[in-house]
Amino acid sequence: MSINSHIDLSSQVAELLIVRASGHAFDIQRNYPLWELSNKQIQRLLKVGVGGVIFFGGTSIELQHRCQTIKKWTAKPLLLCADIEEGLGQRFPGGTWFVPPIALGRMYAIDPERAMKLAESYGCSTGSQARKCGLNWVLAPVCDVNTNPSNPVINVRAWGEDPVIVSELTCAFHKGLVSQGVLSCAKHFPGHGDSSVDSHLDLPTLTHDRNRLTKLELVPFKEVIVNGVSAVMTGHLLLRNLDPKNPASLSQLVINQLLRKQLGFDGLVVTDALVMHAISNKYGAGEAAVMAFEAGSDLILMPENPDEAIKEICKALRSGRIPMERLHEALERRQIALENVERFFPASSKKLPNVCNEELQTNDDKEIASELILKTLEVLNPGGIKAPINGINLLRIDSMISCPFITNNSPSICLPESAGFKSIVSHKMTPSIWTNDINSPLDLNLLGEKMILLQLFIRGNPFVANSYDQEPWEAAIRQLQYKKLLAGLVVFGSPYIWDSLIKVLDSSIPAAYSPGQMLPAQREALSKLIMLAPHSRLSQSDLPHAFTD
Amino acid sequence: MSINSHIDLSSQVAELLIVRASGHAFDIQRNYPLWELSNKQIQRLLKVGVGGVIFFGGTSIELQHRCQTIKKWTAKPLLLCADIEEGLGQRFPGGTWFVPPIALGRMYAIDPERAMKLAESYGCSTGSQARKCGLNWVLAPVCDVNTNPSNPVINVRAWGEDPVIVSELTCAFHKGLVSQGVLSCAKHFPGHGDSSVDSHLDLPTLTHDRNRLTKLELVPFKEVIVNGVSAVMTGHLLLRNLDPKNPASLSQLVINQLLRKQLGFDGLVVTDALVMHAISNKYGAGEAAVMAFEAGSDLILMPENPDEAIKEICKALRSGRIPMERLHEALERRQIALENVERFFPASSKKLPNVCNEELQTNDDKEIASELILKTLEVLNPGGIKAPINGINLLRIDSMISCPFITNNSPSICLPESAGFKSIVSHKMTPSIWTNDINSPLDLNLLGEKMILLQLFIRGNPFVANSYDQEPWEAAIRQLQYKKLLAGLVVFGSPYIWDSLIKVLDSSIPAAYSPGQMLPAQREALSKLIMLAPHSRLSQSDLPHAFTD
């Protein structure tokens, strides 16, 4: 073992922390200044010995610049990671943003062979683009089996609802991902798919016994462990029958007994973000980190207070509460992981080739992203919306702040507008579009008694939880159909919402569903629904009038 | 003269074009794909010989990366410019975004000496940051005298309403700007301050005679020409008394007679963007460029179709419609300008030092930006909003798409929310907040009969024009006051709106005005108005709950 005993304890403990940074270069650009460390803080913590950084925000070019800068701030090799479950472009514009994994699960039912091939390409592209930007660890695949259709936080992020299919797709994705020389991470152990509470907000409790877990939740984890996954992320979930006291992320029974001994996993165990409210509401910043480490976690992700976490873990080691062996095994696992990835990705080559003109997304990446959109799009009554319609294009979104799919060029806005619709958005900060009448819930006085094209952007997003559960879309569709005012329906995101709404939809209504919310998915869906006048210049009118902000 | 006659004509003509590119690296990131050339198109046009690029979009780090990339695509020195009238951060996050020039005009009335000093620092910071990112030409200062308070497109971009003050501040800014080794540009000749039409939408007509121009509009231009301004941008304005036929940007009388002969300017003349609707609606893409060049413009900014512009100008030169001398003088002026700037900024040093951790904004820059916000903030009845208030925080903005001042951390949202208000936004895509009753124009059924804190983000923005003219804010304030429902009023942007609204405001209402719309301006204004409960932890509650998108 190559752990140098002369390195002081706190520096060794610090190596196990993954702290959060913005992908933007400058402090003033941070989207979440309370959670994203300042550059001074990052530099100080790297000196203290912190061994990993997770990035949020910024574009792919900024991320590359950021990884280069941060590597210059320390001589140690770092774990540099991001939550890019749906391709680099999910969080870092410029990269490819794929339809969410659930789309592959649906595709698998029709064409399992192609679905498997695409899942592998999906992983391959994600790993390759992550590496080009300087990351060496991708926090994916999600191994949760989404058995609860109203799961507020997993939902479309899962590869499906069937443990065997999820297992197959997860392993295919994983194969592609690690072929590109990045570390992987199976999450959220022992399975977050049946929860009905968002652990970002509160602690979900599950009552499954070991038998049920073996048959369902654990299947994909077991398989991806056999396939050599680098790390397993534990969820902030209370599994009463496994450990009535501690959530999985802080549970010795879950980590040591179940994951290590029974499933035989000897890679890195990492906690889910320790700042999450399920944990931060209950335990202190220091104690949460100590408990996670004591329970068997090797890496501590986003501790609420890194200094406190280091201090308290050191104290627990010195006092004998946690045996020193725990530290050594965690450091050794980290080192092995880094050595594995550095065979592809030498730490010495601090300077990466500049990601330049079109070198980030390959043509293959683009084709796979397109194929996934096309093959997972569902359309009823294509061409059924005939322009011009002097109607309302009503878009339901969670929030317009930092919304990656509402831009000046969003086809969900531009295409209906070119067909004569006026766009109105509804989100948590707009005047309410609802009445108190459960039979006529949409406020048609407000919207005008016009034909309405309804576009719902709904997927399980962290923190947003089930806010849409309070929105009576089924009743709204019935109301509009009764009044003959429903021009069309489009759902972008959750298949469960789509499946529930088509049950009440008249068979004559033009409608479409895409699991993806990105601009190309909008373009495909809307252009299949709307039949523009023969001479309308779609390529032009698809685009906005103004040319600057 | 060093123009090489062996270089073919079209390559020489191409040198005079400034084409538009996104500041983002990748084609899929373009905000305005119709107007921003693809990377392939840029590379092709640089091979054809195009000599300049104007950037829109992207962050400061992306801009730096972009300038480096584009310089690698050609061996020729390029003019690389941006419309950063209010500091680099106005368009490229990471840089400093200053309050708009009009703020300095107001400050000048109180403390002319400090206003002059700050205007110089404003220019200095803008030039320095532009240079660090790779630009060599800043399209500022605006030299228009904003004599029309409802000017839809100049407004806060002007340094004031008085020709002498505008002249002084413009020259102070210019002194700072050029001290940093970038080229400058006085705009929009012969003066856009009295227009009431947005030339992005249609052609403004002015009836001023030469006498009036001499006394008013021309004063700042004359002065900044004496001070060595590098370029003058002509406006898309019809000055009936100077040239009844052609707008200034296409007028030989305005450019040759007035600007060259009478004002003695021998630097670069550049058109305003030729894609602007005032021009593009009337002349063809090729003919507009030919007319501008024929009239005396040296550089053609954002031609609607660069290939067409090159072809048609070549044709006009070959046919003798435009003398070859016109080409030679334009190329010579461009070369002199480049030589001037390359003394500071050698074209050979293609690789700039990396703008890294906090090296872009200096402490001086930050202090100047803060001082400008503090000194130009106006507050009535400070501390007059006493938390907690179960009211509505009503924000009026132009658009939430790409809105640089509405983020997860906007104090205009977070501070009122921490005081108990619920935020509602009104913009062109939200359900209307208006009734048809001119005396009770705000729809209080919709908003709830609650105390309302009104925050108006209104400034003359291109394309938005006077959309707020249709919004009866004076009547709304009277309505809320009558019902005792006005908790407070804040105006961010136009001083003219503020001046008109305080006329109807009860003297007891807490109110504030800032010329700036940026987050720090919001923080100053709101924190001065709202008195939070003594134990509320503002530093925490000022920030959002969620930690990812």
User: What ipTM is given for this predicted complex?
Assistant: 0.92
Which of B33, B430, B549 faces A425 most closely, judged by CB atoms? B430
In the predicted structure, residue A354 carries a pLDDT above the cut 70: no
d(CA A421, CA A539): 17
d(CA B224, CA A344): 58
Residue B418 has a pLDDT of 93
In the predicted structure, residue B307 carries a pLDDT above the cut 50: yes
Average pLDDT value for chain A: 91
In the predicted structure, residue A265 carries a pLDDT above the cut 70: yes
Residue A282's pLDDT band (cuts 50, 70, 90):
confident
Q: What is the mean pLDDT of residues A537-544?
A: 43
Residue B463 has a pLDDT of 55
Residue B368 has a pLDDT of 97
Q: What is the mean pLDDT of residues B89-117?
A: 97
Residue B285's pLDDT band (cuts 50, 70, 90):
confident
pLDDT digits (tens, 9 = 90+) for A60-72: 999 999 999 999 9
Tell me whether A353 touches chain B (CB under 8 Å). no
Mean pLDDT is lowest, of B111-120, B242-251, B357-366, for B357-366
In the predicted structure, residue B461 carries a pLDDT above the cut 90: no
Residue A539 has a pLDDT of 43
In the predicted structure, residue B546 carries a pLDDT above the cut 80: no
Give the C-alpha distances (Å, rounded to integers) separating B382 from A394, B103, B106, B385, B411: 40, 21, 21, 8, 16
In the predicted structure, residue A529 carries a pLDDT above the cut 90: yes
Cross-chain Cβ contact B26/A425 below 8 Å: no
Tokens 């000496």 appear where?
B113
Residue A284's pLDDT band (cuts 50, 70, 90):
confident
| pTM: predicted TM-score of the whole model, two decimal places | 0.93
Q: What is the mean pLDDT of residues B432-452?
A: 93
How far is the first Cα of chain B from the last one, in angstroms, to the nearest whole number?
58
For A384-446, what is the HEC assignment?
Answer: CEECCCCCEEEEECCCCCCCCCCCCCCHHHHHHHHCCCEEEEECCCCCCCECCCCCCCECHHH
The residues in A 91-120 lying below 8 A from B, measured between CB atoms, are 93-94
In the predicted structure, residue B410 carries a pLDDT above the cut 90: yes
A125 contacts A87 by C-beta, under 8 angstroms: yes
Mean pLDDT is lowest, of A42-46, A404-408, B469-473, for B469-473
Tell me whether A27 touches chain B (CB under 8 Å). yes
Tell me whether B361 touches chain A (CB under 8 Å). yes
In the predicted structure, residue B470 carries a pLDDT above the cut 70: yes
d(CA A302, CA B152): 47
Cross-chain Cβ contact A429/B431 below 8 Å: no
Question: What is the DSSP code (8-state) at residue B389?
Answer: -
Q: What is the mean pLDDT of residues A237-242?
A: 93
Q: How many CB atoms lie within 10 A of CB B193?
A: 25
Residue B7 has a pLDDT of 65
Give the C-alpha distances (Å, rounded to integers) separating A393 from A406, A420, B275, B373: 14, 9, 29, 40
Set out the domains of chain A in order of their start, with CATH numbers.
Answer: 11-344 (3.20.20.300), 377-541 (3.40.50.10870)
Residue A469's pLDDT band (cuts 50, 70, 90):
low
Tell me whether A401 touches chain B (CB under 8 Å). yes
Tell me whether B448 touches chain A (CB under 8 Å). no
In the predicted structure, residue B273 carries a pLDDT above the cut 50: yes
pLDDT digits (tens, 9 = 90+) for A174-195: 999 999 999 999 999 999 999 8
d(CA B540, CA A16): 27
In the predicted structure, residue B358 carries a pLDDT above the cut 60: no
pLDDT digits (tens, 9 = 90+) for B10-68: 999 999 999 999 999 999 999 888 889 999 999 999 999 999 999 999 999 999 999 99
- B425 contacts on A by Cβ (under 8 Å): 429-430
More confident residue, A443 or B463: A443
- A424 contacts on B by Cβ (under 8 Å): 429-431
A92 contacts A60 by C-beta, under 8 angstroms: yes
Q: What is the mean pLDDT of residues B363-392?
A: 95
Which of A58, A62, A446 faces B446 most closely, judged by CB atoms? A446
In the predicted structure, residue A27 carries a pLDDT above the cut 70: yes
In the predicted structure, residue A255 carries a pLDDT above the cut 70: yes
In the predicted structure, residue A372 carries a pLDDT above the cut 50: yes
In the predicted structure, residue B357 carries a pLDDT above the cut 60: no
**Best to test chain B binding among A39, A62, A277 (most B CBs inside 10 Å):** A62
